[in-house]
Amino acid sequence: MRSAVDRSQFDRAPAVRLPRVARSIVVLLAVLVSGLCELVPAQQNRPNVLLIAVDDLRPELVAFGARSGVMSHVDAFAARSTIFTRHYVQVPTCGASRYAFLTGRSAHRSRAMGNEACFRGPTAIPQLDRNIANENVANQRAPRPAWTMPELFRQNGYRTTQIGKVSHTPDGRVYAYDGSGNGRDELPGSWDELATPYGPWKRGWGIFFAYADGKHREDGEGHRDLMEFVAEKDEDLPDGLLAQQAVRTIEESAPKGAPFFLAVGFYKPHLPFVATKADLEAIENNDKVEDAEDPAKSASHWFHASREFFRYANDFSNERPLPEGDRMSARRAYLACVRFVDRQIGKVLGALDRSGLADNTIVVFWSDHGWHLGDSGIWGKHTPFERALHSPLLVRVPASLKIDAPRSVDRLVSSLDVYPTLVELCNLERRATANPLDGRSLVPLLRGEREVPWRPAVFGYWNGAITVRDETHRLIFRRAKDGALRDVELYDVRSGPDPTVDLAASEPAIVERLLAYADGR
């Protein structure tokens, strides 16, 4: 049996008194160590954010009813995520939609309706002095109120990295299509690193409008084919290089421990339709590829002639709408690009899993708008219809946050909601923004709260049109300068997403109901 210790010898030991200066140093060190002990776990435990943005992607997922099965990697990711089945963007064009997403501001309030909203005109994000922009802004006592989502995360100590198209430009630098310009930051103060690889295309708009072997639409050589499927390897095309760079960035982040905000913006399936030869072959052998539900030309005032699509060189008939054979050829080309980009997304998600970071990383999968694939006789976005405004949104909440998120949510949600959701999930300390955020946090929906009050409608804007979508109907209209309503159309979205039967004249009560929502924005 161990003998008891006689503590009296300790009681009698003479006290050692340190000089006053030494005592002050000891106290200061104790405070610093205590602060670091509190800070380091907080830094390490804050969730990372991986944002995957895809250009022009309609909801081609099994969870949304797609039968083609071309997005197997994202479908697998969806099985571990929350799917927001009724997510709508603000404006069905790349730059304005991304502006709303990244700033959290409604297009109604910001008036940001065009592709150059981030860097030109009254909506432009204010530039920062280069020296200030390159400082560690998390250490600044009073950085400016954040203009964008990544800027706010950077101010909170996150390392922010952009790869590909996150705002409107393909690499975060402002140049014209022909390469002229000064290359200033499109989102000043937002990114610690702009890491887009250029490959043989050498510059941003080159990789965006790329064909194989370094050719691109803006190289002055007349390359304007609508589709090309000759590449053998994924890395022969820009999105393959983006995935490669994203994998490398994740692998390098794993041992560092500091939280990161990594945004990866893939280019396809944006025009031109370019993917590997194997992707087109797989789609041509896929008997589940279907024709448009309603390919007839819409009688809507908001119909357009698909000029962006038809400006590319093609072998199609001059008949409009396109005959079935041409329609199916174009639809297969689009889906081949979707299959290609899905594989790149799978590589990025696989790297996250292998790195050990997935259990503490929020993943957001989002597209800037949908796309008409011959539906209503339209090829492209740029309409106030369901096809153009509806896009996929998936959020995977990591185990570290201890939220038992539901498999799917069918509430009406907006791209504006992602910003406040990430702020809440990451419990950001600094929350000062240049403008109020117009969205609502999705966290109550991610927690599965069924009784939470929610918005009755979502809004969209295009080319003077205002569109209001509630649980059952979509209203489209514009207001003249004298306040009068013009070009009013009403569609029952329960019968399908295409504008086939205009109910505006026969359902005035529903028109008034939706107008009341618009007036209360």
State the residue range of the domain holding 490: 464-521
Give me the chain's average pLDDT, please. 91
Q: Are 411 and 508 contained in the same domain?
A: no
| Distance separating alpha carbons of residues 18 and 180, to the nearest angstrom | 68
390, 417, 451 - which closes a domain: 451
Q: Are 166 and 53 in contact (CB under 8 A)?
A: yes
- Give the model's pLDDT for residue 406: 86
At 213, list the tokens.
Answer: 């072997």
φ, ψ of residue 397 in degrees (nearest 5): -95, 125
Question: pLDDT band for position 134 (50/70/90)?
Answer: low
**CA separation for the pair 84, 104 (Å, rounded):** 18
pLDDT at position 287 is 93
Q: What is the pLDDT of residue 133?
A: 61
Co-location of 479 and 385 in the same domain: no
CA distance 23 to 33: 15
Say yes or no: 520 and 408 in one domain: no
Listed range (24-38, 289-303, 423-437) with the worst mean pLDDT: 24-38
Is residue 187, in this structure, part of any structural domain at all? yes
Q: Are residues 171 and 197 in the same domain?
A: yes
**Whole-number CA gyration radius for the chain:** 26
Token pair recorded at residue 481? 């300068």
Q: Which of 397, 419, 451 is the last residue of a domain?
A: 451
- 501 and 442 assigned to the same domain: no
Residue 254 is predicted with a pLDDT of 87
User: Does pTM top 0.85 for this prediction?
Assistant: yes
Q: Is 94 a catalytic residue?
A: yes
10 Å CB burial of residue 315 (0-12, 13-18, 19+) is exposed
| Whether residue 219 is found in the same domain as residue 178 | yes
Q: Which of 73, 87, 94, 118 is catalytic?
A: 94
Q: What is the pLDDT of residues 291-344, one digit of tens each?
A: 999 999 999 999 999 999 999 999 999 999 999 999 999 999 999 999 999 999
Residues 337 and 470 in one domain: no
Domain boundary among 419, 451, 483: 451
Exactly one of 73, 87, 168, 216 is catalytic; name it. Answer: 168
CATH code for the domain of 341: 3.40.720.10
Nearest alpha-carbon partner for 412 in 517, 260, 302:
517
174-231 tens-digit pLDDT: 999 999 999 999 999 999 999 999 999 999 999 999 999 999 999 999 999 999 999 9
- For residue 156, give the nearest of 171, 166, 146, 167 by alpha carbon: 146
Residue 384 CB partners (closer than 8 Å, separation 6+)? 92, 302, 460, 461, 462, 463, 465, 466, 467, 476
How large is the average pLDDT for residues 253-281?
Answer: 96
Q: Tell me whether residue 17 is in a domain.
A: no
Question: Are residues 492 and 417 located together in one domain of the fold?
Answer: no
**220 within a domain of the structure (yes/no):** yes
Q: Within a domain: residue 213?
A: yes
Write out the two tokens for 110.
């910001």
5 compared with 425, residue with greater pLDDT: 425
Whether residues 415 and 482 share a domain: the answer is no
Tens of pLDDT, residue by residue over 488-499, are 999 999 999 999
Give pLDDT, residue 138. Answer: 73
